[in-house]
Amino acid sequence: YVCRYAIEQFATIASNLAQTLAHILAEQMSYESTFFKENCLPNTCYLRLNRYPPCPIASEIHGLMPHTDSDFLTILYQDQVGGLQLVKDKKWIAVKPNPSALIINIGDLFQAWSNGVYKSVEHRVVTNPKVERFSMAYFLCPSNETVIESCRKPSLYKKFSFEEYRQQVRNDVQNLGSKIGLPRFLLF
């Protein structure tokens, strides 16, 4: 019961935070909108609990392969073990765990919606050879039918539904072994 309560509390707080951040980011672009409130509902967003067991060959194994998130925003809590890395200046850098902080990732949908003003960050998780790692991630997602359209013109990306995007990602992973993502939706 205690675990369930803690997870529900995190989901509620992360949901409110994600909506607030999306609103602030839109305002920073001088864009007043109820888009996120109307399209990213509790039943379209989700929470993922991640467990990464110790791996004696950690230098050869990723906990999560390099990728960008396919949502609007991700709110992440990671434990003190560490392992999250992101690309900065074409180099992988470790994100130092901080018990008093959450990590906020811009996802592909926000990059497309903002017309490239905000960038989806490539990241990965490396395993630890001796210690188990845990994290919780909340994903701000719209319904499958929601159409993602750049809020600024001229648009860099063609309009697409979240379902179309997810299907393209699945096809790429199945056929190519990795996600291509937003470059598939560029207009030029």
Q: Which of 140, 184, 177, 133 is closest to 26 using CA atoms? A: 140
DSSP-assigned states of every residue in the chain = -HHHHHHHHHHHHHHHHHHHHHHHHHHHTT----HHHHHS-TTT-EEEEEEE---TTGGG-EEEEEE--SSSEEEEEE-TT--EEEEETTEEEE----TT--EEEE-HHHHHHTTTSS-PPPEEEE--SS--EEEEEEEE---TTPEE--SSSS-SB--EEHHHHHHHHHHHHHHHSS---GGGGB--
Q: Is 108:116 a contact under the CB 8 Å cutoff?
A: no
Catalytic, 133? Answer yes
Q: Which residue out of 4, 51, 124, 133 is catalytically annotated?
A: 133
Question: What pairs with residue 103 in β-bridges?
Answer: 76
Question: What is the torsional sign of CA 156, 67, 93, 104?
Answer: positive
Catalytic residue set? 133
